Amino acid sequence: MAGASLSFSLIFRILCPPAKKKCRIIHKGGTMKYHAFARHNLDKLPTYGRLSQEQIRSIKIVSEVFPFKTNNYVVNELIDWDNYQTDPMYILNFPQREMLRPGQFKSLSDMVEGNASKADLAEYIQELRLNLNPHPAGQMEHNVPSLQGKVLTGIQHKYRETMLFFPTQGQTCHAYCTFCFRWPQFTGVNELKFAMKQASLMISYLKQNPSITDILITGGDPMVMKASILERYIQAILNADLPQLQTIRIGTKSLSFWPYRYLTDPDSGELLDIFRRVSERGIHLALMAHINHPVELGTDAAKEAITRIRNTGANIRSQSPLLRNINDDPATWSDMWKKQVKLGIVPYYMFVARDTGAHKYFGVSLERAHHIFNSAYQQTSGICRTVRGPSMSAGPGKVRIAGIAELKGEKVFVLEFLQGRNPEWVGKPFFAAFDADAQWLDDLQPAFGEKEFFYEQEYRKLLKVDKLPGHTLSSENKQYA
């Protein structure tokens, strides 16, 4: 028995040496069992002892406002715990004190640690959230359509060809990103949330809007749903026999935060069969993978998940915002794009961090965003240059920073729409006065003494139309929000 015990101990030390970065936990049958960690069970974290008391305090205080959840795969496979305080994956997953302004953090910590009443604490937290621009670019006011007088709270329709669908059962994630642009989805406040269950309403809306060619199923993360639930929505779309339908997209972070969804989860085979069925129907299935750092592509599980998904006929496209403290250097992006192409993933978008949530902590200037994109772009071959950016998903549309130039004796940002509420705006260059501190479209002023950008007058009219009582959006109107 002593020999057996020694042998097991030796094997454990070899597999999980204490000084190394990763310690893979393999369960019976070679599967990884999902286990979540959040504020309520933070002390169960395997690496809890590495955190200082002040770091634990900061996590607990900040996660009163922003959602926090990680899991055993992220903790064991992705985070470098020997350098965790500056590790991109740690910052991506664990709330940081600086995500709140100093005064906000102090006031909140005083209330939490001073045993303020639940009602007073909830009121202050709600006040903080509402001041963090929970729905940027008019998502709630201008993107939600109606059908026969019923507001479709689980649909957004901003661009003519693309409709977003938020299935109720997919409005959570395997782990939460600290920068999340849809953080209100996870706060438990229903009036800040997009979600619906009725596939029939989605189908009716699609039939009344034949200009919609692309459906994006999003969240949260639809891949947290059981395959049987996803199948209901997918099958409803397929059975509807929509002649205009070309692409079903699924927005997901699961490749990075839980690749076992496609490997050993009990219904992983059923999930891949659904993907295969869509492809066999001649509809393009695209997984819109949220990949923020090359580390996320380095594990065996992630690589195998990518292979299995691609074997179904599905395509994987990648997108990510540019984030200070996580991926704000050209080498990280060029490395990430190269690894994606090698694995068969199509680089798609670099986004500018949206003006919501902890934007002050994660945002970078538009000048720096343009520099990082261009420098990274120049370090890749043409096969990687499918990526577009840096792009701002602003109220009027997706606006790309195409360049910085000297024109008519003035330094300017050269901008263009990649998508617009009016499709006629797409591809038209326009110019903003250079501002080294600007981080968003709203920070910019028109160049050359112009009073406003070319689209603004029409944009205001479109928003007024959208607000008319009883107005129902249709493919006949240029306002597709």
- Asked whether residue 368 is assigned to any structural domain, the reply reads yes
Which CATH number characterizes residue 305's domain? 3.20.20.70
Q: Please indicate, yes or no, whether residues 157 and 123 belong to a single structural domain of this protein.
A: no
Choose one of 108, 130, 152: the last residue of a domain. 130
Choose one of 95, 113, 130: the last residue of a domain. 130
Q: Please indicate, yes or no, whether residues 198 and 304 belong to a single structural domain of this protein.
A: yes
Cβ-contact 215, 165 below 8 angstroms: yes
Cβ-contact 309, 339 below 8 angstroms: no
Cβ-contact 389, 350 below 8 angstroms: yes
Q: Please indicate, yes or no, whether residues 346 and 365 belong to a single structural domain of this protein.
A: yes
Q: Please indicate, yes or no, whether residues 83 and 197 belong to a single structural domain of this protein.
A: no
Q: Please indicate, yes or no, whether residues 245 and 157 belong to a single structural domain of this protein.
A: yes
CA dist., res. 320 & res. 436, Å (int):
23
pLDDT band at 470 (very low <50, low <70, confident <90, very high): very low
Q: Looking at 155-212, list the stretches that DSSP marks H as alpha helix, in order from N- to C-terminal side.
A: 199-208
Q: Please indicate, yes or no, whether residues 114 and 179 belong to a single structural domain of this protein.
A: no
Cross-sheet strand order for the sheet of 155-159: 155-159, 162-165, 214-217, 247-252, 284-290, 315-322, 346-352, 388-393, 397-407, 410-420, 429-433
Choose one of 115, 130, 145: the last residue of a domain. 130
- Residues contacting residue 444 through CB under 8 Å, at least 6 positions apart: 366, 413, 432, 433, 435, 438
pLDDT band at 135 (very low <50, low <70, confident <90, very high): low
Mean pLDDT of 74-92: 96
Q: Please indicate, yes or no, whether residues 198 and 338 belong to a single structural domain of this protein.
A: yes
Q: How much is the pLDDT for 465?
A: 59
Q: Please indicate, yes or no, whether residues 97 and 209 belong to a single structural domain of this protein.
A: no
Residue position matching structure tokens 């977003």: 164
Residue from 74, 87, 81, 92 nearest 35 by CA: 74
- Label residue 406 left, alpha or beta by phi (over 0 means left) and psi (-120 to 50 means alpha): beta
| % of residues, the chain, pLDDT over 70 | 86
pLDDT tens string 154-174: 899 999 999 999 998 888 899
Domain housing 86: 22-130
Number of domains in the chain: 2
| % of residues, the chain, pLDDT over 90 | 74
Q: Please indicate, yes or no, whether residues 201 and 75 belong to a single structural domain of this protein.
A: no
CA dist., res. 139 & res. 112, Å (int):
32
